[in-house]
Structure 1
Amino acid sequence: MNRKKLQNLAESLCRTAKHFNKIEVECLIKLFHTLVVEPSDRHAIIGLDRNMFRNILHVTFGMTDDMIMDRVFRAFDTDNDSCVSVTEWVEGLSIFLRGTLEEKMKYCFEVYDLNGDGYISREEMFHMLKNSLLKQPSEEDPDEGIKDLVEITLKKMDYDHDGKLSYTDFEKAVRDENLLLEAFGPCLPDIKSSMAFEMQAFRETGDM
């Protein structure tokens, strides 16, 4: 990508990825192009497919939960073409790394709403908690413990008592207690890995 093209793209992305400055956006675009394998077909979309993206989440951000990694991929892939484009990469990272509480709540809710119906149901909570909790070999029936956990969570977060979480419920609960933001599994980077990623991605900013 030539310098002019890079600058134009960075300029337009600065407007949508509000948490990065232009130099940071340029670094992320360059990083994207080092991660992407150029498609053999000239007309193929240039982007990160599910496996490449999951590999980044796993290696860089220490994520291990398959279901959550898939959902994070879908949250980044806003046009659902099974590929994260450079625009989706920069805009997604803007929220993933530096989003406001508001943006992170919307993002986490979207990750947890497995079927995209606007609610996190009992079944969805059960699936995610079962997936993210470590299996205790001593427990007779771990599913029972998870069901109890789902009920406790609903009691705490389901403000309108309809047996599922709407975005309003989720937002209210998280505003009361920020720790509930990732109640159903880690889908945001921890401070250590996001700082390490930023240092590596933006180290060139010091050289410019």
Structure 2
Amino acid sequence: MSIPVSVEVADENFLRQHSDFLKTLPKLTHFTQPEIDAIAIIYFKFLREFGVKREQMDRSQFRAFFHSTFQISDDFIIDRAFLFLDKGLTPFVTLETWIKTLSLFLRGTLEEKMKYCFFVYDLGGNGRLKRNDIIRLLRKCFIYEKDEDVELMVKEFADILVRKLDVDGDGEISYEDFSESVKKQRELLQCFGRCLPDLLSTVDFMQTFTSDLPI
């Protein structure tokens, strides 16, 4: 059951303008039609709050949304997320990307989330997580200063994770290695850095547009 979002005349016009498109999204997302309409209004209100006259969110607004709503503050991770979600083809987050992003974050299947997280972590874009890339990601998980002890700890932690996730023992982590490991131990999903909202942030945001909340 959706929760009515405060609707103004401008919001109604926005929904009317995008009505045909919005009706295609229940089959492509994990949302009902009333939820999609409510999320579209939130998108429009977000733009108005920033004083944007166009009808698309830019990357700085996308980062601000991540920061304020999901407490994900690493801009490097957010930019990797943006690349996955919109393929880097435009500097803007379209309404479609916005809704599909929230579908993934709030109700995505484990498979969808594994593919997303692995892409974010796959810095080389070749389907393999290498030790140096893992070290680079893990540095962001620490209050990092150029300290030999911290650097040693990061490298030791990287070696532990490689040994834990490298199912086929080839010294690198493929998507098959990653997914097999995560299915056995779900806390490994974001072991290289947080790129999904936690449960509290998820529930807080979902309460603004639906009563169908995660347990």
Scaled by the length of structure 1, what TM-score is found? Answer: 0.86
Please list, as runs of the form range in 1=range in 2, the aligned pairs for 1:42-61 lying within 5 A after superposition. 46-61=55-70
Unmatched 5+ stretches in structure 2: 1-12
For 1:66, the equivalent position in structure 2 comes to 75
Tell me the CA shift for residue 79 of structure 1.
5.4
What fraction of aligned residue pairs are identical, expressed as a percent? 35
Q: How many residues align?
A: 196
Aligned match of 1:38 in 25, 40, 53?
Answer: 53
For 2:182, the equivalent position in structure 1 comes to 174
Tell me the CA shift for residue 115 of structure 1.
2.8
Aligned match of 1:15 in 27, 38, 44?
Answer: 27
Cα 1:122/1:54, change in 2 over 3 Å: same
CA distance in 2, matches of 1:129, 1:168: 21
Structure 2 residue matching 1:57: 3-state secondary structure: helix
Runs of 4+ in 1 over 4 A off after TM superposition: none
CA distance in 1, matches of 2:116, 2:206: 20
Aligned match of 1:24 in 35, 41, 48?
Answer: 35
Please list, as runs of the form range in 1=range in 2, the aligned pairs for 1:1-208 lying within 5 A after superposition. 1-17=13-29, 19-36=30-47, 37-39=52-54, 46-78=55-87, 80-135=89-144, 140-202=148-210
Unmatched 5+ stretches in structure 1: 40-45
AA partner of residue 27 (structure 1): A
For 2:4, the equivalent position in structure 1 comes to none
Tell me the CA shift for residue 70 of structure 1.
1.7
Cα 1:59/1:90, change in 2 over 3 Å: same
Deviations 1:32-71 (A, max 9, x none): 11223223xxxxxx42221110110001111122221221
Tell me the CA shift for residue 80 of structure 1.
2.5
CA distance in 1, matches of 2:160, 2:14: 55
CA distance in 2, matches of 1:128, 1:79: 20
Q: Please, what is the CA RMSD of the aligned residues?
A: 2.0
Tell me the CA shift for residue 142 of structure 1.
1.2
CA distance in 2, matches of 1:51, 1:115: 24
Tell me the CA shift for residue 2 of structure 1.
4.8
